[in-house]
A and B are shown apart, each in its own frame.
Chain A
């Protein structure tokens, strides 16, 4: 590796660390997603220049010539740009996991799945000479010689005997063969404003990124509901604006139907996230939702997440109802998202179960 390469790698490491440390701050920023092209996210990183005592000139200096026109012509010295670190969504999800200390998701049904991928990551006492592991063999020999007292530090010659030899051996690699489905359900009734939807949009980006990391293929289903529920595409999901009442059970009913028709639980890891402001049409309907969840949805779901985006002046009690009903249920994760700063904690709450 050349010298420059190691300086460059060190710099990249520092940038990565910097981004990870500040990821919580970045989480709530939508600018991040505006720049998303071809799955590359670029994050501006300021202040990497080393500080020194400097004058605060405020644009004063000496010039030559006419003094107008804009400096569009390229100069000899490269300009000082704000550096932008580029990350793939995958890397970003990794950073998210580190920053929020998210547990790895263990896909269900892993043991049943046949992992055909073998890698030479193991060690064995037998094997072909071409796979002999020099360092391990040497270490065995050294250990044996020290133990038997044959090792002389003054003349440190090591003799590797047959029994010391170690070989690289193939080990099966557990690749996530499983596929996942993420069902997003959002309340689009009149009380959900633009800012609330933005919160949901940002949060789903991270949920997507993190869950997709753990599965080979991820499918997403979007359901919106007010008094009735319907399945929509991603674009519509974030744009649609309805008015009218809220019957949450309609969405759960639709979800049950979709899962039963298209995504049987034995083939899929199922995730369902519901975002709402917490207001429901009636207590009876809330009770109905609890029944649906308990009897029909939870048995097949890996995780049910509920995020209550709270806007000023609303006082939904769906959160409390869920909390009361599923207090000890591993597969139900609840969080409140009053504003952008709460997104990090909400992600942590929803994904912190490691399911």
Chain B
């Protein structure tokens, strides 16, 4: 973005790696590398890779944490890449040449994923420009309406940044207009069949008619409800229907647009990192490395995919699963025949020499996101081989400990973690709750309670946008409750 050409050595390395990546049939937008020092790198990381973001203190906080952590030697950011056309990637100044090459190979993996995975298909590929425009607008609002007013609104929006429709990644982040069907003509006696007077009592029994009338009444009641169907895109709903002034509406729109932009990255963390790691490993070990570099490479690579107790490393899980899929499709370990085979020996030596692995993983990277990826390809064998387990905190030592290694449990826990980015599913059910134009949200409880203190804070933020009390139905310790906030005080009632 500053347009400074890469040092010659790096430029040559890029040229070579790009050629190799193309030979492996990776496709990508043009990739632009920038060399930055560690301060710039930390600042970029705090801005999620973008050189310009709207002004907000949390970027400063993020930066402070990264700088502290870097100074204490706790972490080092080697690379960062952003989904854009051209794809921008950053290299840390002063890294060894081998590291730079490794990072480049890794970046081409990401670049290919961004371009080809269908969850990214509708992301704005000019996001660098869009972010800069957002920044200009927010800055203008700050000058006009004061830093604190704008900040307060942004805080409230960021709290519900993830209340967008995860299945709507294929839709552009533009306001959708709802088509409202015309209300049906009121029917005086619904369900009544024409009948002769003396048979009427039997053809149209009065209690049946009453029932029908009530049903229709109920239906009409439901169609009057707003929104007609529960809405996952809470930010979108507020954008269209909350009593906001123009600048506030614009800010809500900005946060929502950025939310949709980052959504597929949250949805494909494991796949994206796995894919990039797969390719840096493939490119480096088969084409780039010379004898002198192999030890350093192995050291660095193993650092990237190292696992820690109680934590899941997406790099590791992703790369291993891609390799597993490639192996299975190379050997033909799929399909009904394979599923039906119960002989351990036969399974262990199963090899149909199909060689479909490479094609398969390319297909997988195109159509899946993390949750479907794991749902479709996690096998008991893989689970055992990778020694996956469900961990829970030991009550005494407060350290993670193995709770179970059973395949079903592991898979369920993993899917739970991947679904909706591990965040609870919240939907908007009623914008005219109790006929007092209060907002009613519902938490689709899936076995885990909400963090209550945060939930209350989020509701408080929401009142700022809706300007009326906001309620949330959820379940706590097995009992349904309705939390509420009217802007000044939180409330709570149990639902019978």
B443-482 toward A: CB 8 Å interface, digit per residue (1/0)? 1000011111111011001000000000000000000000
Q: B306-327: which have CB < 8 Å to A?
A: 306-313, 315-317
In the bound complex, how far is the Cα of B63 from the Cα of A6, in angstroms?
12
Distance to closest chain B CB from A4 (angstroms): 4
In the bound complex, how far is the Cα of B310 from the Cα of A59, in angstroms?
9
The answer to whether A67 and B401 touch (CB under 8 A), given A61-B311, A61-B312, A78-B65, is yes
> Taking CB as reference atom, which chain B residue is nearest A65?
B307
A147 contacts partner chain B, Cβ-Cβ < 8 Å:
no
By the criterion CB–CB under 8 Å, are A52 and B55 in contact?
no
Residues from chain A with a CB closer than 8 A to the CB of B452 are 56
A156 contacts partner chain B, Cβ-Cβ < 8 Å:
no
Distance to closest chain A CB from B385 (angstroms): 11
Which of A7-15, A205-213, A310-318, A341-349 is found at the contact surface with chain B?
A7-15
From A4, A14, A56, A70, B63 is in contact (CB under 8 Å) with: A4
> Taking CB as reference atom, which chain B residue is nearest A9?
B60
Distance to closest chain B CB from A6 (angstroms): 6
Across chains A and B, the number of contacting residue pairs, with CB separation under 8 Å, is: 186
Residues from chain B with a CB closer than 8 A to the CB of A7 are 46, 55-57, 59-60, 63
From B309, B386, B392, B457, A66 is in contact (CB under 8 Å) with: B309
Distance to closest chain B CB from A21 (angstroms): 14
B410-431 toward A: CB 8 Å interface, digit per residue (1/0)? 1001100100001110100000
Residues from chain B with a CB closer than 8 A to the CB of A235 are none
Distance to closest chain A CB from B92 (angstroms): 14
Distance to closest chain A CB from B40 (angstroms): 9
In the bound complex, how far is the Cα of B414 from the Cα of A10, in angstroms?
39
In the bound complex, how far is the Cα of B401 from the Cα of A69, in angstroms?
9
A60 contacts partner chain B, Cβ-Cβ < 8 Å:
yes
The answer to whether A62 and B388 touch (CB under 8 A), given A3-B55, A69-B309, A75-B308, is yes
A73 contacts partner chain B, Cβ-Cβ < 8 Å:
yes
A55 contacts partner chain B, Cβ-Cβ < 8 Å:
yes
By the criterion CB–CB under 8 Å, are B60 and A10 in contact?
yes
From A11, A75, A80, B64 is in contact (CB under 8 Å) with: A11
By the criterion CB–CB under 8 Å, are B312 and A52 in contact?
no
Residue of B161, B389, B413 most packed against chain A (CB within 10 A): B389
Residues from chain A with a CB closer than 8 A to the CB of B75 are 74-78
By the criterion CB–CB under 8 Å, are B60 and A73 in contact?
no
B91 contacts partner chain A, Cβ-Cβ < 8 Å:
no
From B74, B312, B386, A78 is in contact (CB under 8 Å) with: B74
Q: Which 5 A-B pairs have the closest CB atoms?
A: A59-B393, A11-B60, A7-B60, A51-B457, A8-B60
From A56, A63, A66, B311 is in contact (CB under 8 Å) with: A63
By the criterion CB–CB under 8 Å, are A67 and B389 in contact?
yes
Distance to closest chain A CB from B414 (angstroms): 5
In the bound complex, how far is the Cα of B313 from the Cα of A245, in angstroms?
68
B347 contacts partner chain A, Cβ-Cβ < 8 Å:
no
